[in-house]
């Protein structure tokens, strides 16, 4: 997560060569100044505005440090012990900022992601409508409005997530067959609590593609195909959104080593890039593979 960088400290100098003004404030330098990355600064201008500072302890960074994908920096020595990264956006979490570790220890959420956490009925409904509108545009239809969506602290009937830690949602479809042969399908989606809205939408889109498959009784046979296909829903959500967070979450999908959710997804994405949504949907629908 993030990258390891080295910062060379500024050097104190007191014999003048070249320009005699501070690179930060533009006014003349005094008898002492700091040279940093070949530029000169007043010691105070350097300390207050230029010097790299650690997000966790607030002290100057000289030497090795970690930088997250948002440009936040922290001393390497905090790593492992004190450095918390947001499980969603990967930002380094400052201990002083409002943050939350979910009760099961599964995820840590930073203050920024915390603001968009989905929890209410209304928010779920807005997310549902949003995802359905994205599906409409690419040609998925037939997902019933009657799908029940619930936010849970753990999946019902299971102490642990049955599919491993890489899934935050689960879809259950019950098919009721009447004596006259008519069928009714009931779909229920459970999504783990504490997901920020973009992540929530992506998980919901993934689960709604399970609903789409189940509604048409399409069986893609292997888990890699099924989950890889459903992950195209998450891909659709992230790739439609132009935020940096979506980009980070999309990159995480591309790099996922999991054979089912990662490799399965990349296979399906390859097919999507080759055929486009309409053809891929038809292939899945009519050939079932």
Binding site for Zn ion (CB under 5 A): 22, 24-25, 42, 45, 54, 56-57, 75, 86, 88-89, 91, 110, 113, 227, 230
DSSP secondary-structure letter at 104?
T
Give, in degrees to the nearest 5, the angle at Cα 196 between 226 and 191: 45
Shortest reach from residue 182's CB to Zn ion, in Å = 28
Residue with tokens 């990355």: 37
Contact 180, 249 (CB under 8 A): no
Shortest reach from residue 123's CB to Zn ion, in Å = 18
Helix/strand number for the chain, H first, E second: 7, 13
Shortest reach from residue 179's CB to Zn ion, in Å = 32
CB nearer to Zn ion: give 149 or 178: 149
CB nearer to Zn ion: give 121 or 219: 219
Residue with tokens 């390859």: 270
CB nearer to Zn ion: give 128 or 229: 229
- Select from 284, 195, 282, 198 the least CA-distant residue to 240: 198
DSSP string covering 197-232: HHHHHHHHHHHHHHHHHHHTT---SSHHHHHHHHHH
Contacts for 62 with CB less than 8 Å, ≥ 6 apart = 7, 8, 9
CB nearer to Zn ion: give 75 or 225: 75
Q: For residue 280, count other CB atoms closer than 10 A to its CB.
A: 20
List, in sequence order, the alpha helices (H) in the chain: 43-45, 111-114, 121-138, 197-215, 223-240, 244-255, 264-287
CB nearer to Zn ion: give 30 or 121: 30
CB nearer to Zn ion: give 234 or 281: 234
CB nearer to Zn ion: give 45 or 189: 45
- Select from 205, 229, 238 the least CA-distant residue to 129: 205
Shortest reach from residue 76's CB to Zn ion, in Å = 9
Residues comprising the chain, all counted: 289
Shortest reach from residue 282's CB to Zn ion, in Å = 22
Shortest reach from residue 178's CB to Zn ion, in Å = 29
Shortest reach from residue 175's CB to Zn ion, in Å = 18
Expressed in angstroms, the distance from the first to the final Cα of the chain is 35
CB nearer to Zn ion: give 49 or 174: 49
Shortest reach from residue 154's CB to Zn ion, in Å = 17
């Amino acid at each position: 997560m993030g990258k390891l960088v080295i910062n060379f400290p500024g050097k104190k100098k007191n014999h003048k060569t070249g320009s005699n003004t501070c690179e930060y404030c533009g006014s003349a330098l005094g008898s002492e100044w700091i040279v940093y990355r070949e530029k000169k600064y007043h010691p105070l201008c350097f300390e207050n505005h230029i010097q790299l500072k650690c997000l966790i302890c607030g002290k100057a960074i000289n030497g090795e440090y970690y930088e997250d994908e948002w440009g936040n920096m922290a001393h390497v020595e905090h790593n492992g012990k004190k450095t918390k990264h947001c499980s969603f956006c990967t930002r380094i979490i400052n201990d002083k900022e409002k943050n939350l570790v979910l009760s099961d220890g599964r995820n840590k959420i930073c203050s920024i992601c915390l603001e968009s956490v989905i929890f209410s009925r209304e928010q779920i409904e807005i997310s549902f409508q949003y995802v359905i509108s994205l599906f409409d545009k690419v040609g998925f239809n037939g997902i019933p409005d009657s799908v029940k969506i619930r936010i849970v602290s753990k999946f019902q009937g299971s102490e642990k997530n049955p599919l491993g830690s890489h899934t935050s949602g689960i879809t259950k479809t019950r098919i009721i067959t009447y004596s006259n042969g008519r069928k009714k399908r009931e779909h229920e989606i459970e999504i783990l609590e504490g997901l920020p809205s973009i992540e929530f939408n992506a998980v919901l889109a993934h689960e709604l593609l399970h609903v789409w498959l189940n509604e048409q009784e399409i069986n893609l046979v292997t888990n890699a195909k099924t989950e890889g296909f459903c992950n195209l829903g998450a891909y659709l959500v992230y790739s439609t959104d132009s935020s940096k967070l979506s980009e980070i979450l999309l990159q995480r999908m591309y790099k996922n080593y999991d054979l089912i959710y990662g490799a399965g997804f990349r296979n399906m994405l390859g097919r999507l890039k080759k055929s486009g949504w309409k053809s891929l949907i038809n292939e899945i629908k009519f050939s079932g593979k």
